[in-house]
Amino acid sequence: MAKSVEKTRALRKGAWSPEEDKKLIAYIKRYGIWNWAEMAKPAGLQRSGKSCRLRWVNYLRPGIKHGNFTKEEEQTIIDLHEKLGNRWSTIASRLPGRTDNEIKNHWHAHLRKRFKYDLNALPESEPLEPSSDETNQNSSSRIDPTPANTSRPSILESYSVTSTDSLPSSSSNPPVEIEEKPNIKGSIGSLDNFKA
DNA sequence: AAGATAGTCAACCGCACACGC
DNA sequence: TGCGTGTGCGGTTGACTATCT
Query: Which nucleotide has its C1' atom closest to residue A53's CA?
Result: C7
Domain total in chain A: 1
Evaluate whether residue A37 is within a structural domain: no
CA of A124 to C1' of C10 (A): 30
Evaluate whether residue A165 is within a structural domain: no
Backbone angles phi, psi at A192, to 5 degrees: -60, -40
Residue A175 reports pLDDT greater than 60: no
Residue A16 reports pLDDT greater than 70: yes
Question: Is the CB of A183 less than 7 A from some atom of nucleic acid strand C?
Answer: no
What pLDDT score was predicted for residue A168? 33
Evaluate whether residue A48 is within a structural domain: no
Evaluate whether residue A126 is within a structural domain: yes
Question: Is the CB of A7 less than 7 A from some atom of nucleic acid strand C?
Answer: no
Evaluate whether residue A142 is within a structural domain: yes
* Domain membership of residue A115 as a residue range: 71-154
Mean pLDDT, residues A22-49: 89
Evaluate whether residue A99 is within a structural domain: yes
What pLDDT score was predicted for residue A82? 87
Q: List protein-proximal bases of chain C (any atom < 7 A from a CB).
A: 4-12, 15
Provide residues 55-84 of A with CB closer than 7 Å to any strand C atom.
none
Evaluate whether residue A13 is within a structural domain: no
Nearest alpha carbon to residue A45 among A11, A3, A76: A11
